[in-house]
Amino acid sequence: MGNFLAGKVVAVTGAGRGIGRAVALAAAAEGARVVVNDYGVSVDGASPSSEVAESVVKEIEAAGGEAVAVADDVSTMAGGRRVVDVALSAYGRLDGVVCVAGILRERMLFNMSEEEWDPVVATHLKGTFTVFRAAAAVMRKQRAGTLIGFTSGNHQGSVSQANYSAAKGGIISLVRSAALGLHKYGVTANAVAPVARTRMSAGVPMELAEIGEPEDVAALVVYLLSDRAREQGITGQVYTAAGAKIAVWAQPRELRSAYAEGGSWTPERIAEVLPGAVGVDPMPMLAQLAGMERAAREGARPNG
């Protein structure tokens, strides 16, 4: 066992499978005591089971670590609060939370139902809020702590997962808000966009050019939870972890601007000025669409 997280208490949601499980195991292997949360559902969020979280606790204990299971649904305020309360009652403190829990309900926007939209946004975006909300109150008093949200490259947009994409974009804004609002209390917040082989990524209808294992993502998360990352001033960032690759995403910023002569615009004047002076920022995913559609027609898995 290493000691990168020695003495720390870390709660991980969605820790029963895939990337969350790898994060929980890696954090425990580096000395953290871990709250393993998982509602134990299928990829679309159905059929909850408490066994999934408990089996990861057993794995951690078998490896000589300390962990406790919470099988609650983090899309409820009570579920998010319980993750934090169990950390405090079992271990007396909370140094980091990692919100990995997620589900998918794929449908084109023009066919998407409320039952496909609401649970996806509730699991990802609200499920990050509920845990961040309860953890932030504890960390503010401690004057230390780390919040980690899970986003996706799909926050750029998605052909058939507008619900998931919107939730993942929301998580980035939530993380940046947490980084800003908690900075003066010594609390950091960052987001991770993983690409890893799990049951969730197995359903992606394209060949991912850069993909790795959940353990590759876990190494980055353990670093972000550590004092080293705090000392290095890492907050408000979005990092991709895809196998051997780690990348940082740009902060949103205005690219080009134009100002109206006399202080106000007319639609006619905008039509004359906007294309040349302000223009567009080409959408990288739009450029990939034609190739993806062609490959889908031919039954191949296009590169993405």
Contacting positions for ligand NAD (CB under 6 A): 13-14, 16-20, 37-41, 43, 45, 52, 73-75, 100-103, 123, 127, 150, 152, 194-196, 198-201
Q: Which of 39, 91, 164, 239 is catalytic?
A: 164
Catalytic residue status for 164: yes
Rounded to the nearest 5°, which phi and psi values hold at 162?
-60, -35
Measured in residues, the chain has a length of 304
- DSSP character string of 270-302: HHHHIIIII-----HHHHHHHHHHHHHHTT---
Rounded to the nearest 5°, which phi and psi values hold at 212?
-135, -155
Structure tokens at 288: 């990939």
- If the CB atoms of residues 91 and 164 are measured against ligand NAD, the closer one turns out to be 164
Beta strands in 14-80 (DSSP E): 33-37, 67-70
- If the CB atoms of residues 37 and 163 are measured against ligand NAD, the closer one turns out to be 37
Using alpha carbons only, give the angle 48, 51, 52 rounded to the nearest 5 degrees. Answer: 80
Instruction: Please report the sign of the dihedral spanned by the C-alpha atoms of residue 141, residue 143, residue 144, residue 150.
Output: positive
- If the CB atoms of residues 55 and 144 are measured against ligand NAD, the closer one turns out to be 55
Q: Which of 75, 91, 126, 152 is catalytic?
A: 152
Closest distance of CB 302 from ligand NAD, Å:
16
- If the CB atoms of residues 13 and 190 are measured against ligand NAD, the closer one turns out to be 13
State the distance between the two ends of the chain, measured CA to CA, in whole angstroms.
Answer: 37
Structure tokens at 83: 């993750």
Q: Which of 39, 75, 91, 168 is catalytic?
A: 168
Place of tokens 């004359």: 272
Closest distance of CB 105 from ligand NAD, Å:
12
Closest distance of CB 156 from ligand NAD, Å:
12
Catalytic residue status for 152: yes
- If the CB atoms of residues 86 and 195 are measured against ligand NAD, the closer one turns out to be 195
Q: Which of 223, 183, 175 is nearest to 5 (CA)?
A: 223
Closest distance of CB 154 from ligand NAD, Å:
7
- If the CB atoms of residues 37 and 235 are measured against ligand NAD, the closer one turns out to be 37
Catalytic residue status for 168: yes
Using alpha carbons only, give the angle 84, 104, 86 rounded to the nearest 5 degrees. Answer: 10
DSSP 252: P
Closest distance of CB 208 from ligand NAD, Å:
7
Q: How far apart are CA 270 and CA 258, in angstroms?
A: 10
DSSP 141: H
DSSP 211: -
Closest distance of CB 297 from ligand NAD, Å:
25
Which residue is at the shortest CB distance from ligand NAD? Answer: 18
Give me the active site residues, please: 152, 164, 168
